[in-house]
Amino acid sequence: MATNMLVFMQFMRNILLPLPGVTEKMHFDSPAFYVNKKIFANVKLNDQLLAVYTLERDKWITADPDTFFITNHYLNYKFMLVRLETVSPEDLKSLLMTAWYNRATKTLIRKHEEDVQNG
């Protein structure tokens, strides 16, 4: 994926902001996305990285350790770092949607599923 941060941020906003309960606000001087006050994606602008909530960190890191990795800071958290210059748009969208599903309430998930069915 291109590392132009404006393009990247718009890509993320297009995917995430229509989801029920999602808000965007700053987290330690970086843009972040929340659902029900729970952070699930945090953009590291200076490093062109994304910290994303995941329950499948090992799967992603094993599949592509150049793109998906952690630092010592994330060892005890359910987050993984994603290198923006090498992640595919499809993988990024999948990670973002899964992160939202894992942090959203059942009510918000049900609302999203109803919205999708109703077009």
**Is 10 a residue whose pLDDT tops 80?**
yes
In CATH, what number is assigned to the domain containing residue 66?
3.90.1150.30
**Is 1 a residue whose pLDDT tops 90?**
no
Structure tokens at 2: 């291109």
> What's the pLDDT score for residue 9?
92
Non-local CB neighbours of 39 within 8 Å, separated by 6+ positions: 27, 32, 33, 53
Structure tokens at 74: 């994330």
In a domain, residue 118? The reply is no
In a domain, residue 64? The reply is yes
Number of structural domains, the chain?
Answer: 1
**Is 89 a residue whose pLDDT tops 50?**
yes
